[in-house]
Amino acid sequence: MDISFILNELGEERPRHYGAVTPPLYQNSNFCFASIQDMREALVSELDNPFYTRGNNPTVEVLRKKIAALEGAEDALIFASGSAAIAAAVMSCVQGGDHVVCVAKPYSWTAKLLGKMLSRYGVESSFIDGRETENWERAIRPNTRLFMLESPNSMTFELQDIPAVTAIAKAHGIHTILDNSYASPLNQNPLAMGVDIVCHSASKYLSGHSDMVAGVLASSRSRVEKIFDSEFMTLGGIISPHDAWLMIRGLRTLAIRMERVAQTTPVIVDFLANHPKVEQVIYPHHPSFPQYELAQKQQKAPSGQFTVLLKAEKIEQVEAFCDALQRFLIACSWGGYESLIYPVCVLYSSGNYSETPLPWNMVRFYIGLEEKEVLLADLEQALEKL
């Protein structure tokens, strides 16, 4: 199935909707039936039939088909946030007394889920340097049930050798989940590399317009059924039909957005890597990156996120640089049309995150859809203020 077909046609069944070229928004909680028999038939599988919107909604169903196809999965589930999708995936794999092995610096709320929440229910987690494949093997205990991967992770972009790590997991009967938000399903398909469940924050590339929060997971039909019947329906962290409709709209341009980002980001990274006020760039697709070759092998094209370590003596210089940028917004998140910076110095002395081990001269960049010349000129003038 080609990408254009998935993004523009799959699951839309236009003849059923008067030929509407855009799927209608089913903004309803409830569905009614002409007879007891009809209702009974729908209830046989709430995953497949519109019955009540927490389970199935026709607008959300379009998305399920597209996300599954993009990841080469049998089925997918759509959630209210990436964190909800990750939590449901993780909880479906473990129970009290189990042990999880996770990459050292996963997404912050994944770290909290494993390290602070599930530990209350008797699930223990070890956080390891996932770059070395043997570390995964070494961390296995008799009760290890899950490997939690994120390749690459945010801020420092460490990769895992996905086929090698999933081979170890399979040999020991261990489940694997991978957070694939950074690469998007266009640039990396973890299921084809042996991963059991792939998750995304759809608030990022999949929706792509910074106008909604959502998450997805994609997996085999049997895993999706199992998650649907327990975590999905019980915790109920579902996307609204309206946000699903927005995500379908965002997906139309996923391929051209990713193409644009793959063209501009390496140019901007090169500029920064050669700038005297930059100590280091951390970008999986820059030759200076220690796992550059693995990134080339596992990801089809470069993504739009990287980190820079600035040459600065004090935190005020970093702040002056960040404040001087005109075209990069100072914000968290990423994956929209707009370029962003997320400076680590903001975490210093901010209550919720102050335990960060990351250095204050580190700034994460996200490259949006602006012309590269505009962004380069902005960086040039702001670096003079550093």
Ligand X SMILES: *Cc1c(COP(=O)(O)O)cnc(C)c1O
Q: Point out which residues pair with 99 in neighbouring strands.
A: 124, 144
Q: Are 94 and 147 contacting, i.e. CB atoms less than 8 angstroms apart? A: no
CB of 281 to ligand X, least distance (A): 19
Q: What angle (nearest 5°) sits at the alpha carbon of residue 199, between those of residues 96 and 51? A: 85
Please give the residues from 117 up to 176 whose contact with ligand X meets the rule CB under 6 A. 154
Collapsed DSSP state (helix, strand, coil) of residue 335: coil
Q: In what order do the strands lie in the sheet with 175-179?
A: 75-79, 215-219, 197-201, 175-179, 144-150, 99-103, 124-128
CB of 85 to ligand X, least distance (A): 8
Q: What does the block give as tokens for 21?
A: 């070229």
Among 56, 59, 151, 181, binds ligand X (CB under 6 A): 181
Q: How far is the CB of 79 from ligand X (least distance, A)?
A: 8
CA distance 281 to 289: 8
Which ranges constitute the DSSP H helices of the chain? 3-8, 36-43, 58-70, 82-91, 108-112, 133-139, 162-171, 184-187, 221-227, 233-235, 241-251, 254-273, 292-298, 315-324, 372-384
Pick the piece of the chain touching ligand X (CB under 6 A) from 49-57, 79-87, 241-249, 360-368.
Answer: 79-87
Question: What's the closest the beta carbon of residue 199 comes to ligand X, in angstroms?
Answer: 7
The window from 52-60, 198-206, 312-320, 336-344 that contacts ligand X (CB under 6 A) reads 198-206
In a 3-state reduction of DSSP, which class is residue 278?
strand
Q: Which amino acid is at 339?
A: S
Among residues 53 and 203, whose Cβ is nearest to ligand X? 203
- For the CB of residue 107, give the shortest distance to ligand X in the complex, in Å: 4
Binding residue (CB under 6 A) for ligand X from 53, 56, 57, 81: 81
DSSP string, 360-371: TTEEEEE--SS-
Strand partners, 126: 101
Q: Minimal distance in Å, beta carbon 210 to ligand X? A: 11
Listed residue (145, 85, 142, 77) closest to 109, CA to CA: 85
The span of 81-89, 130-138, 233-241, 268-276 binding ligand X (CB under 6 A) equals 81-89
User: At 136, which helix (H) or strand (E)?
Assistant: helix 133-139
Of 57 and 203, the one with the shorter C-beta distance to ligand X is 203
> Does residue 82 belong to the site contacting ligand X (CB under 6 A)?
yes
Q: Give 108 or 253: the residue with its C-beta nearer to ligand X.
A: 108
Residues binding ligand X: number (CB under 6 A): 12
Residue 210 is a binding residue for ligand X (CB under 6 A):
no
Among 107, 147, 205, 365, binds ligand X (CB under 6 A): 107
**Half-sphere exposure for 179 (CA within 13 Å, toward CB):** 33
Contact status: 284 vs ligand X (CB under 6 A): no
By CB under 6 A, name the one of 144, 166, 203, 303 that touches ligand X: 203
Sole binder of ligand X in the list 83, 92, 166, 299 (CB under 6 A): 83
Given a contact cutoff of 8 angstroms between Cβ atoms, the answer to whether 63 and 248 are in contact is yes
Separation of alpha carbons 312 and 277, rounded Å: 8
Tokens encoding 374: 């505009």
CB of residue 386 vs ligand X: minimum separation in angstroms?
27
246 binds ligand X per the rule CB under 6 A:
no
Q: Does the protein bind ligand X through residue 179 (CB under 6 A)?
A: yes
Mark 39-78 with x for binding to ligand X (rule: CB under 6 A) and - for no binding: ----------------------------------------
SS3 197: strand
Stretch that binds ligand X, among 16-24, 137-145, 201-209, 235-243 (CB under 6 A): 201-209
CA 348 to chain centre: 25
Mention every residue, 6+ apart, whose C-beta is less than 8 A from residue 292.
284, 285, 286
Supply the minimum distance, in Å, between the C-beta of residue 130 and ligand X. 14
The HSE-up count of residue 108 (CA atoms within 13 Å, CB side) is: 11
- Examine residue 215 and tell whether it contacts ligand X (CB under 6 A): yes
Cα gap 339→263, rounded to integer Å:
14
201 lies in the binding site for ligand X (CB under 6 A): yes
Smallest separation, CB 131 to ligand X (Å): 17
Q: Output the smallest distance, CB 35 to ligand X, in A.
A: 40
Binding site for ligand X (CB under 6 A): 81-83, 107, 154, 179, 181, 201, 203-204, 213, 215
